[in-house]
Each structure stands twice: as structure tokens, then as C-alpha cells.
Amino acid sequence: MIKRIQKFFMENGLEANDARAEAEFLVCGISGFSIEEIITGCAIQNEDEIWALARKRVETGAPIQHLTGFSYFMGDKFFVNSDVLIPRPETEILVQKAVDIARNTGKNPAGGDLKILDIGTGTGCIAIEISKNLPEFNCADNTCGLTGCGAETAGGRTLEVIGIDISTAALRIAIKNMEALEQQRRVVFRKSDIFSSIYEDEKFDIIVSNPPYIPLSLKDTLDDNVKNFDPHLALFAGDKDGVEFYRRILEGAKKHLKPNGYVLFELGFTNGISQSGIVSEIARKQGFDLKFIEKDLSKIDRVICFQLH
Ligand code: GLN
């Protein structure tokens, strides 16, 4: 069935690799079988449903994830719709790095409890996966009544991840994902325009963000798939370099970081130039040290980490 759907997508203008990837996503996602199970001949029960979605994909041009209502990130299923950015594989690097830093910070006896802020959380994928990948930390709230929490493990380190977004519609999806992936113990979502709803004295060990980084002026150069279906609130920055949000976050971060706290960003690139140079310069002026830059599989600077000194 995967081959037939791939062929159908290719006949309707999709490039071979994309057609294959989307066909696999659709058939596996809707049938509930893995690719191995399908290749070894498991009987798919819902072929009609799958074909209906394939036809809709071709007719509307909408991303396949909007039609199925879900996507995958770090191996987990996330609800998506047109109010949120579909999680991208590059963002997994950001989560992995944040988890590594949290673990190291966690080993520091002076470190106390961990608080992490995810700015522009969208589907909540970053906040939720950071929490999921740090199972050794307890929740900050000893009233949740779950095993491993609060008074019972009072000596243990706690973790709280706060995900914020300016979009109420995005927060609805994030909350749904948090519940489905059972991270309510340690993840909280809040409506906030960057730091607007962060309390004056609220301080974090790590601030992460994959902010909108495409300059509005480049709108017409984007793939139709992105331009017509991803929420513009999640894509575009107002300035010519696309660094408006990095700047606003770095300016406010000093006040909301604990001493030696970290800022981790996913970066974009505009006109073929990575934003790492210009973002580093803004960070330096705000009193941050550059800790590292991580490239993605295409050798593009993708994640950047700063520490407050
Ligand atoms: N944090 C979300 C993600 O990485 C949304 C990012 C955004 O909307 N710019 O997928």
C-alpha cells in the first residue's frame, strides 16, 4: 500500500523522497502498524480512510500532518493543527542539548531545583520532551499525589518546565499533548508574550526557544506548503535579519535567569547565512558567554547555547 500511495503522490507532483516519506507516515500512522509490520504483510484494516486522506492531501495541498491531526517528535505522537508549527526533526537537537545541560546542572549540589522556560512553545513539543527525558527529577508540586513526588521524596531534586505562548489556540494543543504524554506533573503552560506573564522575581536555570525567525520580507520565497499552512505567528519575525525574537528574549533573559543560567536557541538562516553570528553578537552585548554551537545534519548552525556570566 505504501508503494501505491507513493506513486499516487508522485503522479500528483510530489518529489520521490517526499512522496515516500509521506506515504509511510500516512500508512503507518493511520494503520497503527510499523513499517516492518507492513512490509511483512500485516493486514491493514482502514485502507479506505488512508486513501481518502491521500486524496485530500493532493486536492488541498495541506501538510499531511494537518489532515491526520498528528505528527511525531522524538518518537512520540503530538497533536497538531493549523494553529501550531509542525514539530521539525532539527528541534530534537535543541531538546537533547537542553536535557544534557539540565543533567549537568542537576549534578551541581549548589544547583537546587531546576526550572526551565520554553518560549513560544507551540505544540509544547520542546517543554514536554525535556520533561519526559529527565525522569530522574521529581515534580515541584507535592500535592499531586503521584508516587515519587513531594514529601515522599523530599530529598530529591525537582523539575518544573514552563511553556509559554502568545497564542491561546496553540496552548490548547500544548495542553492536550501534555495530557496525552502524561507530563502534567512537571509541565505547566501559561499565556505570555515572551516575559509578559513571567513574575518579576521568577528565575530559571535554562531558557529555551525555537522562536519565529524568518524575516517577513522573505515570505514570498517560502514553499507554498509552509507559507499557506503554517501559522504566520510561528514563522515570521518583523526585522530584516529575522532576529527580533532572539533580541527580545536575550534582553529579558538576564533578569529571569539564575546565576550562570543558560539560554538555548534553535537558529534559522536567512539568505544562505546562518543567524549564529548576529545572535552571538546580540548575546555578547547583553553579557552572555557563547558556550557552543551545534550543527544539524545539513551542516547548518542549528542550536546555539549561551551562559550568563
Ligand atoms: N516550540 C515549537 C517548536 O519548536 C514552536 C516554535 C514556533 O512556533 N516558532 O516546534
Pocket of ligand 1 (CB under 6 A): 85, 87, 91, 120-123, 125-126, 210-212, 234
Kindly report, residue by residue over 64-89, the tens digit of the pLDDT: 999 999 999 999 999 999 999 999 99
Q: Among all chains, which residue has been given the C-alpha cell 506548503?
A: 225
Indicate the pairing of strand 273-274 with strand 114-119. Answer: unpaired
pLDDT at 135: 84
- State yes or no: pLDDT of 223 exceeds 90: no
Do the beta carbons of residue 67 and residue 57 sit within 8 Å? yes
pLDDT band at residue 107 using 50, 70 and 90 as cut-offs:
low
Kindly report, residue by residue over 128-163, the tens digit of the pLDDT: 999 999 887 877 765 555 555 544 444 567 889 999
Grid cell locating 95:
531538546
Beta strands (DSSP E) in the chain are: 70-73, 76-79, 114-119, 138-139, 158-165, 187-191, 204-209, 214-215, 236-237, 257-266, 269-270, 273-274, 288-295, 301-308
Kindly report, residue by residue over 27-58, the tens digit of the pLDDT: 999 999 988 888 887 788 889 999 999 999 99
pLDDT at 60: 93
pLDDT at 242: 87
Ligand 1 pocket test target in 70, 71, 74, 123 with most atoms within 8 Å of CB:
123
Q: Of 3-17, 142-156, 204-218, 222-236, which range is least confident? A: 142-156
pLDDT at 175: 97
Average pLDDT over all residues of the chain: 89
How far apart CA 272 and CA 294 sit, in angstroms, is 17
Across residues 185-213, what is the average pLDDT? 93
How many of the other CB atoms lie within 10 Å of CB of 104?
A: 11
Ligand 1 pocket test target in 91, 209, 214 with most atoms within 8 Å of CB:
91
pLDDT at 111: 52
Give the distance (Å) from ligand 1 centre to CA of residue 37.
32
Which is higher by pLDDT, 255 or 217?
Answer: 255
Q: Relative to the CA of 266, which ligand 1 atom is closest?
A: 4
Task: Give the residue from 105, 110, 155 showing the smallest Cα distance to 130.
Answer: 105
Q: Relative to the CA of 123, which ligand 1 atom is closest?
A: 2
Across residues 221-236, what is the average pLDDT? 85
Kindly report, residue by residue over 262-291, the tens digit of the pLDDT: 999 999 877 778 899 999 999 999 999 999
pLDDT at 42: 79
Atom 4 in ligand 1: residue holding the nearest Cα: 210
How far apart CA 221 and CA 232 sit, in angstroms, is 14
Burial of 196 per CB tally in 10 Å (0-12, 13-18, 19+): exposed
Please give the full DSSP string across 44-91, using - where no structure is assigned. PS-HHHHHHHHHHHHHH---HHHHHSEEEETTEEEE--TTSPPPPTTH
